[in-house]
Amino acid sequence: MSTQLDTDHRVLEVIVQLPGTVLDEIVVECPDLTWNQVFLAIDRLSREGVLKLTPNEHGRYTIRLSNQALEQMHDQSHAGIVSAVTGAMLNNLHR
């Protein structure tokens, strides 16, 4: 069973790799997580300001990293960027 931190990290990895994705695509990319786990992680991370949700024309929400998260990502070196961003964000959230 995944911890909240593991779930958040996994969801963030997918969003970094597939910017502008939607919930159902993240669920497909995380077969080890339930739909509810993914939804709760997205909800939590968006409330914390890590993610930005934007409604699209099909009544779904596009999910991206927030501007704050993108700024942190650009401050990091190219190597290990997913780990750097997700690790830094999650450390700040779970203090």
**Can you give the pTM of this predicted structure?**
0.74
Q: What is the pLDDT of residue 59?
A: 86
Q: What is the pLDDT of residue 38?
A: 96
Q: What is the pLDDT of residue 73?
A: 67
**Could you tell me the mean pLDDT of each successive run of 10 residues in the chain, 95 residues long?**
84 92 95 95 93 90 87 60 58 59
Write out the chain in H/E/C secondary structure.
CCCHHHHHHHHHHHHHHCCCECHHHHHHHCCCCCHHHHHHHHHHHHHCCCEEEEECCCCCEEEEECHHHHHHHHHCCCCCHHHHHHHHHHHHHCC
